[in-house]
Amino acid sequence: MKTKNLTLALATAAVVALSSLSAPRLASAHCDTLDGPVVRDAHRALESKNVTPVLKWVKAKDEYAVKAAFDKALAAGGGKTEAAHEEFFATLVRIHRAGEGAPFTGLKPAGAVEPAVAEADKALASGSAETLEHLVTKAVQEGIRKRFERVAAAYRHKDESVVQGREFVEAYVDFTHFVENLHTAGSAPAHGGGDAHSGHGSFEGAGEKHPDREPTHSH
């Protein structure tokens, strides 16, 4: 039971930490894709001729603009249909992104989604998060182990020279920031806000420095 609880705690910490750390850099990695949830719902709306499925992705104040784009896409015919649909997809995603305070740089091709995010969608569809937990937990454990091995090796020689001392400090800062960010995020209460699909990216990101986010732990 303790092992299972630790696994779930690590997975939760990793997901929250990576979401908070990588959101500014990777915010468009899911909602902007042609096979992402926003565009999938847009396809459903066009097929059923019912705009309702996509309205949840935008603010109430933006519904009129989305409905206008939807009606325009439905009205297009002949050789203009595909282009009109793509324009609707782009308009919908752009408005969604703007509502979340994020930029829109164009629709991304299908498949441009990080493995963890793709697995998160599969978990929702299947009703089981077991595979997702395994994927995320494995990445977190490997991230901790890799950084620990590096800093432990440097620790043994940290006082032999200034160069070796600095190598230790660099490894130590990377290691402690990584575990602190995971622990802090995992201990924080769940909250809303932000892009529901912005927490995407490599698990290496939890140890990276981001210009818009200063680490809380300083050395």
Instruction: Give the pLDDT confidence score for residue 102 in this predicted structure.
Output: 86
CA distance 135 to 51: 35
3-state secondary structure the chain: CHHHHHHHHHHHHHHHHHHHHHHHHHCCCCCCECCCHHHHHHHHHHHHCCCHHHHCCCCHHHHHHHHHHHHHHHHCCHHHHHHHHHHHHHHHHHHHHHHCCCCCCCCECCCCCCHHHHHHHHHHHHCCCHHHHHHHHHHHHHHHHHHHHHHHHHHCCCCCCHHHHHHHHHHHHHHHHHHHHHHHHHHCCCCCCCCCCCCCCCHHHHHCCECCECCCCCC
Instruction: Give the pLDDT confidence score for residue 154 in this predicted structure.
Output: 94
Sign of the alpha-carbon torsion through 78, 82, 88, 91: negative
Residue type at 168 in one-letter notation = F
Report domain extents, the chain.
2-30+113-207, 37-99
| Count of alpha carbons within 13 angstroms of residue 73, beta-carbon side | 26
Instruction: Give the pLDDT confidence score for residue 218 in this predicted structure.
Output: 45
Instruction: Give the pLDDT confidence score for residue 191 in this predicted structure.
Output: 59
Instruction: Give the pLDDT confidence score for residue 10 in this predicted structure.
Output: 52
User: Minimal CA–CA distance to 154: which of 136, 137, 135, 175?
Assistant: 175
Instruction: Give the pLDDT confidence score for residue 151 in this predicted structure.
Output: 95
Q: Quick one: angle between helices 2-26 and 130-155, nearest 10?
A: 80
Instruction: Give the pLDDT confidence score for residue 32 in this predicted structure.
Output: 82
**What are the tokens at 219?**
């050395």
Q: Which residues pair with 33 in a beta bridge?
A: 108
∠ Cα 152 157 159 (to 5°): 120
**What are the tokens at 133?**
């937990």
Per-residue pLDDT of the chain (219 residues; tens, 9 = 90+): 444 554 445 554 454 444 444 443 344 457 888 888 899 999 999 999 999 999 999 999 999 999 999 999 999 988 899 999 999 999 999 999 898 888 898 988 877 667 777 777 778 888 988 888 888 888 889 999 999 999 999 999 999 999 999 999 999 999 999 999 888 877 777 655 444 444 433 333 444 444 333 434 445
**What are the tokens at 90?**
């782009």
